[in-house]
Amino acid sequence: MPSKKKDSAPKSAEAAAAAVPEEPQRTRLAVRKTYKLYVGGAFPRSESGRTYVVADSKGNFVANAAQASRKDARDAVLAARAAFGKWSGATAYNRGQVVYRVAEMLESRRDEFVSLEVPAAEVDAAVDRLVWYAGWTDKIAQVLGGANPVAGPYFNLSSPEPSGIVAIVAPRKPTLLGLVSVIAPVIATGNTCIVISDAPRVAITLAEVLATSDLPGGVVNILTGSAAEIGPWLASHADVNGVDLTGLADAKLAVTLEQAAAETLKRVRRPAAALDWSGDPGLVPMTAFLETKTVWHPKGL
Amino acid sequence: MSAFEYAPAPESRSIVNLQSSYGLFIDGEFVDGDDRRKTISPATEEVLAEVTWAGTADVDRAVKAARRAYTKVWGPMPGAERAKYLFRIARIIAERSRELAVLESLNNGKPIKESRDVDVPLASAHFFYYAGWADKLPYAGFGADPRPLGVAGQVIPWNFPLLMLAWKIAPALAAGNTVVLKPAETTPLTALLFAEICQQADLPPGVVNIVTGAGETGAAIVNHPDVDKVAFTGSTEVGRIIARAVAGTSKKVTLELGGKAANIVFEDAAIDQAVEGIVNGIFFNQGHVCCAGSRLLVQESVADQLLESLKRRMATLRVGDPLDKNTDIGAINSAEQLSRIKTLADVGEGEGADRWSPPCQLPDRGFWFAPTIFTGVSQAHRIAREEIFGPVLSVLTFRTPAEAVEKANNTPYGLSAGIWTEKGSRILAIADQLRAGVVWANTFNKFDPTSPFGGYKESGYGREGGRHGLEAYLAQ
């Protein structure tokens, strides 16, 4: 009977499926990521061999992250200094393209950051912030610099230039937007930096974004671990020119780091109480690590 | 060629009315203090007057007066009115310029032609420039409604006493702050005359307070809890102490510190012009200039020729009475500074550099040091690394532009630099690579109120002059 046949067709298919020998129930074992440091464009382990346990918000073990040491901090300074000449000497247009490329790469890893418990809206805001700074690279000099009408026959021009190497303590929250908000202004203006983060999964995943964005190695170096341990070495390092403590919640440590920075007259951004990371950053994140260079030349026939 | 013989041409001192003793200028009045010290002329060691060294309690009174003036008068005053006070001050400085110049040369030891033609006119121009900003702050690029910080504590050095006062007070007042300023221990007199100028201008009491004294007075200002802003010009050593002292506070700080500027002469430079620039770079103001071109980097191929010209030119420099209008190099500001210069010059010799000075007769009394150059200096020598702050030039050579840049930047300082070449593209390429806040190309030691000045690295942070100079005195 046609109708019976019709009815039985799916049944016979099920039966056929059931006839296949049953595979044992098995979920695929995931390939975990090793969270290492990001120094000079490479992902080395800590020279000290130390790691620390990272858990997710439910307390489940997720990784043994590299715990950076004093030696790693010094290596990072070397890498940042080596990268400074080329990066600060790159055209502003080129830096803008690279920072925009970072935004593109971050956008494409949106799901990965969401899986690391970063709210989707925060990932979007971080991407948008990078785009904002990408546009600043070739505008900040015109906004901050210019010709000075001196009282004499002289050409006189002031231009902003990067301070050099900036050591940054990344804010704990918001993890991704905070991290991007402290790195982007510093590199957009031609500085190179060393970031201390104690959110290894987000920080090192961002490092992967940076590493695939045509950003030269050493422009951004990320050390995961304790700001209290590594911070003083960077704040007192004679080849570091600036210290950004905006994201540092530990007020006592901030004072220690500012005091250490005084030894070589580093530019210091102090911790910001109740900073709204999602608001308009204004110019200060950029101007904090910019110098003004003024060039004079006589005019004459 | 030796110097022409000129008859003495001393500027008259009679224009200056020195009092035997000066109090502190607090809340619009001169008030007496307990601790009186003599201030002298470094050219003769003659006592000029007694001044008061302010203690912690005096500084506290000055800060309170400044706070009151800020809250009640100067803060609420419309910018256009503040501007008019500053214009008045600019005018009075110009009106009393001869008096200020003579007093500056007396107390500091600098040649009258410098105080008359550089320090005092620039001080007046600085007030005139910032006066115009007082009612235009929303257009300065620091937000639509930029606010002053409050009370500014300012500590200035002895090398340009009145000019440094102008660099500090003019932008602070234009932005709506009130100030407590300490002139240097050895050069208090033009600041005290400036206090009189504030009175003549009818500046409201407490807007400007002048407290004289030494390091402890300065520390009392920097550490006072009711000071919102610290501005300091002086040594890198003291700059470090200040930076450490304000750590963890909300005080905003600007520091203009030491330097060890490279003055780079390429083989295609106009040698005679370069020689003038080198002389101006290191012997202007006895070399008591933080941006002095104290390291001469000369391309090897022209080194002999250039040094010969330089020595010939140095032999014509007149060292002597600061009040003589023909004097090129005046007195070293203090016995202490003279001893530091002597020590470092001796170290230079000890380390093997060749020392040369033109024959020159120094006065018997006072503090004097002949213009000196060291050749055969290596980068490791202390005279190539440390700021001497005197008329002492260290000469190094280079072969390639890259070597020049590397040597120029091989210092923790980064205040200024000079470039001498006739090739425009080279000027711009080298200027890009020098890590210094001011780069003078085919000129040196030029200053202007509209032109921002300040250092990279351990030469400090913040800029003075121009639109940039307002940033230090505005909340952002």
Contact call for A241 and B457, based on CB within 8 A: yes
**Interatomic CA distance for residues A282 and B35, integer angstroms:** 48
- Which of B436, B441, B466 shows the shortest C-beta gap to A158? B466
Q: Does A153 touch chain B (CB under 8 A)?
A: no
Output DSSP code: residue B118.
I
CB atoms < 10 A from the CB of A238, how many?
12
Å from A62 to nearest chain B CA?
A: 37
Per-residue pLDDT band for A186 (boundaries 50, 70, 90) equals very high
ipTM: 0.96
pLDDT of residue A8: 46
At position B22, the amino acid (one-letter code) is: Y
Question: For the ranges A7-21, A271-285, B6-20, B176-190, which has the lowest average pLDDT?
Answer: A7-21
List all residues 6 or more positions away from B131 whose beta carbon is below 8 Å from its beta carbon.
Answer: B83, B84, B85, B86, B87, B89, B90, B170, B174
- Which of B441, B454, B476 shows the shortest C-beta gap to A296? B441
Contact call for B451 and A150, based on CB within 8 A: yes
Å from B459 to nearest chain A CA?
A: 8
Å from B247 to nearest chain A CA?
A: 5
Main-chain dihedrals φ then ψ at residue A278, nearest 5 degrees: -90, -10
Contact call for A148 and B450, based on CB within 8 A: yes
Residue B314 φ/ψ region, left for φ over 0, alpha for ψ in the -120 to 50 degree band, beta for the rest: alpha
CB atoms < 10 A from the CB of B139, how many?
11
pLDDT at A18 over 80: no
Mean pLDDT within A246-265: 97
Q: Does A91 touch chain B (CB under 8 A)?
A: no
* Domain residue extents for chain A: 51-298
- Which of B239, B457, B468 shows the shortest C-beta gap to A292? B468
Contact call for A259 and B244, based on CB within 8 A: yes
Going by C-alpha positions, the residue among A48, A95, A99, A83 that lies closest to residue A69 is A48
Question: Could you say which residues from 271 to 290 on chain A have a Cβ atom under 8 Å away from some Cβ of chain B?
Answer: 282, 284, 287
List all residues 6 or more positions away from A158 whose beta carbon is below 8 Å from its beta carbon.
Answer: A145, A146, A148, A292, A293, A294, B451, B452, B466, B468
Per-residue pLDDT band for A295 (boundaries 50, 70, 90) equals very high
Contact call for B468 and A158, based on CB within 8 A: yes
pLDDT tens digits in sequence order for chain B, 476 residues long = 455 678 999 999 999 999 999 999 999 999 998 899 999 999 999 999 999 999 999 999 999 999 999 999 999 999 999 999 999 999 999 999 999 999 999 999 999 999 999 999 999 999 999 999 999 999 999 999 999 999 999 999 999 999 999 999 999 999 999 999 999 999 999 999 999 999 999 999 999 999 999 999 999 999 999 999 999 999 999 999 999 999 999 999 999 999 999 999 999 999 999 999 999 999 999 999 999 999 999 999 999 999 999 999 999 999 999 999 999 999 999 999 999 999 999 999 999 999 999 998 999 999 999 999 999 999 999 999 999 999 999 999 999 999 999 999 999 999 999 999 999 999 999 999 999 999 999 999 999 999 999 999 999 999 999 999 999 999 97
Q: Does A86 touch chain B (CB under 8 A)?
A: no
Per-residue pLDDT band for A114 (boundaries 50, 70, 90) equals very high
Contact call for A148 and B466, based on CB within 8 A: yes
Q: Does A241 touch chain B (CB under 8 A)?
A: yes
Going by C-alpha positions, the residue among B426, B410, B39 that lies closest to residue B269 is B426
Contact call for B458 and A298, based on CB within 8 A: no
Q: Which residues of A touch B244 (CB under 8 A)?
A: 259, 262-263
pLDDT of residue B165: 98
Pairing of strands B151-155, B178-182: parallel
State the SS3 of chain A: CHHHHHHHHHHHHHHHHHHCCCCCCCCCCCCCCCCCCEECCECCCCCCCCEEEEECCCCCEEEEEECCCHHHHHHHHHHHHHHHHHHHHCCHHHHHHHHHHHHHHHHHCHHHHHHCCCCHHHHHHHHHHHHHHHHHCCCHHHHHCEECCCCCCEEEEEEEEECCEEEEECCCCCHHHHHHHHHHHHHHCCCEEEEEECCHHHHHHHHHHHHCCCCCCCCEEEEECCHHHHHHHHHCCCCCCEEECCCCCCHHHHHHHHHHHHCCCCEEECCCCCCCCCCCCCCHHHHCCEEEEEEEEECCC
- Residue-averaged pLDDT of chain B: 97
**Interatomic CA distance for residues B283 and B281, integer angstroms:** 6
pLDDT at A209 over 50: yes
3-state helix, strand, coil in chain B (%, to 5): 40, 20, 40
pLDDT at A21 over 70: no
At position B161, the amino acid (one-letter code) is: P
**Interatomic CA distance for residues B156 and B233, integer angstroms:** 5
Main-chain dihedrals φ then ψ at residue B97, nearest 5 degrees: -65, -40
pLDDT of residue A6: 47
Known catalytic membership, residue B99 = no
Instruction: State the best of A86, A157, A265 to mutate against chain B, taking most chain B CBs within 10 Å.
Output: A265
* CATH for the stretch A51-298: 3.40.605.10
pLDDT at A176 over 80: yes
Contact call for B452 and A292, based on CB within 8 A: yes
**Which among B104, B185, B256, B471 is annotated as catalytic?**
B256
Question: CA angle B408-B409-B415, nearest 5°?
Answer: 90
**Interatomic CA distance for residues B43 and B367, integer angstroms:** 6
Contact call for B437 and A259, based on CB within 8 A: no
CB atoms < 10 A from the CB of B356, how many?
17
pLDDT of residue B72: 98
pLDDT at A17 over 90: no
DSSP one-letter string for B284-330: GGGG--TT---EEEEEHHHHHHHHHHHHHHHTT--BS-TTBTT-SB-
pLDDT of residue A19: 59
Contact call for A258 and B255, based on CB within 8 A: no
pLDDT of residue A16: 53
A vs B, Cβ pairs < 8 A, gives 107
Å from A262 to nearest chain B CA?
A: 5
Q: Which residues of B touch A294 (CB under 8 A)?
A: 437-439, 451-453
At position B316, the amino acid (one-letter code) is: T
Going by C-alpha positions, the residue among B80, B7, B16, B19 that lies closest to residue B49 is B19
Å from A145 to nearest chain B CA?
A: 9
Total count of residues recorded for chain A: 301
Tokens of B222: 């920097």
Contact call for A295 and B431, based on CB within 8 A: yes
What tens digit of pLDDT does each residue of B187-212 get? 999 999 999 999 999 999 999 999 99
What tens digit of pLDDT does each residue of A124-173 get? 999 999 999 999 999 999 999 999 999 999 999 999 999 999 999 999 99
Q: Which residues of A touch B446 (CB under 8 A)?
A: 150, 152, 154, 296
What tens digit of pLDDT does each residue of A27-67 get? 899 899 999 999 999 999 999 999 999 999 899 999 999 99
At residue B259, the 3 state secondary structure works out as: coil
Q: Which residues of A touch B257 (CB under 8 A)?
A: 265
List all residues 6 or more positions away from A14 whose beta carbon is below 8 Å from its beta carbon.
Answer: none
**Interatomic CA distance for residues B118 and B447, integer angstroms:** 9
pLDDT of residue A26: 83
- Which of B443, B463, B471 shows the shortest C-beta gap to A296? B443
pTM, 2 dp: 0.94
**Interatomic CA distance for residues A67 and A198, integer angstroms:** 9
Known catalytic membership, residue B290 = yes
At residue B417, the 3 state secondary structure works out as: strand
- Which of A241, A251, A262 shows the shortest C-beta gap to B244? A262
**Interatomic CA distance for residues B327 and B112, integer angstroms:** 8
